[in-house]
Amino acid sequence: MAIARIHFRPRQVRTAIAAGLLLLAGLGVGGCARQPAELVVYSARNEQLIKPMFDRYTADTGMPVRFVTDDAGPLIERLGAEGNHSPADILMTVDAGELWHAADRGLLQPITSQPLTANIPASLRDPQNRWFGLSVRARTIVYSTERVKPDALSTYEALAGPQWKGKLCLRTSKKVYNQSLVAMLIVEHGEAPTEQIVKGWVANLATDVFSNDILLMEAIAAGQCDVGIVNTYYFGRLLRDKPALPIKLFWADQAANGVHVNISGAGVTTHAPHKEAAQKFLEWLSMPEAQALFAGLNLEYPANPAVSADPAVLAWGKFKPSGLNIAKAGELQADAVRLMDRAGYR
């Protein structure tokens, strides 16, 4: 009887349910109802390397930027699961392979932008313009100035030679930077010759592979090995803390293909709620002022060739980067991982 007297109109019921859901979401502090004008970034690049960029952009344009940081793997899974209801406008990673993977799964959309294609060289962006490199990270040879003459060094491939037996240090093959490096070697040489090179590296190892580049360089300095392969910004960071370390960078493969470079970059997501704003933000990031800051925060090289690197970075000298399109690193990453497994590169 009591029930019959209460007539909810459907509209009221809906409003009530919606209010309930909002309350539920409200429990989560900020779990709902974003403002119309703001950007949401999923970033595998550290907070301390991106927050200053976002703050600057908000100060310049009034556009607020919200972000979540995590490893690229979980972020890409989340983006995929969220589908057309994802709040994310931009995915940012620290490796081209991950951007390739996201694009391959249809999570990034092509952007037609004159400033972006003009500012970012073709080898540092997706051939279909679904993602763009924003900073360049060179992965090259580091050596002990006490025990190695730079004349003895030449290419990544040469480190597989017998003269480096027991003198080479490498970082783990789990790190995506090495996976990308090997993928690019596959592009250059083909799979079987690359496997021989990697086997040669493994045979030359002075000790089990390291979990990061800093430990590797400290091992070279301490005399455990003589040469290794590292990202340049780790070198810069270590030398900033310990300037006396007897190690130096050598630009690999200058006579032929050039130094292997990777990127930290970003793309606009397929279902971006604020596509135009996201595109504007990427364009801004490719401009000189932002480029200097973006790369400088981590001692990387700007992706925009018109912008010069931080003085500390320039001091390492000029080099010729590889001109191969970095998208290949993603395409061949799984092959590279399998190859390294076969070669016993742990």
Partner 1 sequence: MTTSAPSIQATAPRSFHAAHAWGAALAFLLCLPALLPLIVILSASVVPEVAVWSHLTRFVLPEVIANTIKLVVGVALLAGTLGTLLAWLTAMCEFPGRKFFDWALLLPLAIPAYVLAFVAVGFLDYAGPLPTWLRSVFGPGSWFPPIRSAGGTIIVLSLAMYPYVYLLARSAFLTQGRRALEAAQALGLSSSKATWRVALPMARPWITAGVALVCMETLADFGAVSVFNYNTFTTAIYRAWFGMFSVSAALELAGVLMIFVLLALALERRSRSAAHFASARDVTRDAPRLALGSWARWSALGAIVSVFVLAFVLPMTQLLYWAVEHAARDLDMRYVGFVARSLLLAGSAAVVVVAASVALAYTLRRNSTPLARSMARVATIGYAIPGTVLAIGILVPVIAVNNALQDVLKTWFGDSAPVLLLQSTLLTVLVAYLARFLAVGFNPVESGLQRVTHSIDEVAISLGVGGSALLRKVHVPLLRTSLATAATLVFVDVMKEMPITLITRPFGWDTLAVRVFEMTSEGEWERAALPAVAIVLVGLVPAALLTRRGAHVA
Give me the residues that bind partner 1 (CB under 8 A), please.
14, 18, 21-22, 24-25, 27-34, 40, 44, 46-49, 66-75, 77-78, 81-83, 85, 87, 94, 101, 104, 172, 174, 176, 179, 207-215, 218-219, 221-224, 234, 237, 298, 333-334, 337-338, 341-342, 346
Per the listing, tokens 């090997």 go with 182
| Alpha carbons 139 and 258: distance in angstroms, whole number | 11
Q: Return the number of other C-beta atoms located less than 10 Å from residue 31's C-beta.
A: 10
For Cα atoms 244, 245, 251, give the angle at the middle one, nearest 5 degrees.
115
Nearest to 94 by CA among 152, 55, 135, 35: 135
On whether the CB atoms of residues 301 and 313 are closer than 8 A, the answer is yes
Q: Return the number of other C-beta atoms located less than 10 Å from residue 295's C-beta.
A: 26
What is the smallest separation between the CB atom of 4 and partner 1, expressed in angstroms? 25
Nearest to 254 by CA among 151, 148, 120, 147: 151
What is the smallest separation between the CB atom of 302 and partner 1, expressed in angstroms? 18
Query: Based on CB atoms, which residue is closest to partner 1, 116 or 230?
Result: 230
Which conformational region is residue 166 in: left (phi greater than 0), alpha (psi within -120 to 50 degrees), or beta?
left
What is the smallest separation between the CB atom of 299 and partner 1, expressed in angstroms? 11
What is the smallest separation between the CB atom of 33 and partner 1, expressed in angstroms? 5
On whether the CB atoms of residues 273 and 109 are closer than 8 A, the answer is no
Query: Based on CB atoms, which residue is closest to partner 1, 317 or 346?
Result: 346
| Alpha carbons 133 and 303: distance in angstroms, whole number | 6
What is the smallest separation between the CB atom of 38 and partner 1, expressed in angstroms? 10
236-254 CB burial, b ≥16 within 10 A, e <16 = bbbbeeeeebebbbbbbbe
Query: Based on CB atoms, which residue is closest to partner 1, 56 or 237?
Result: 237
DSSP summary character for residue 210: B
Query: Based on CB atoms, which residue is closest to partner 1, 120 or 332?
Result: 332
Query: Based on CB atoms, which residue is closest to partner 1, 146 or 289?
Result: 146
Query: Based on CB atoms, which residue is closest to partner 1, 119 or 298?
Result: 298
What is the smallest separation between the CB atom of 121 and partner 1, expressed in angstroms? 24
Which conformational region is residue 38 in: left (phi greater than 0), alpha (psi within -120 to 50 degrees), or beta?
beta
Query: Based on CB atoms, which residue is closest to partner 1, 165 or 342?
Result: 342
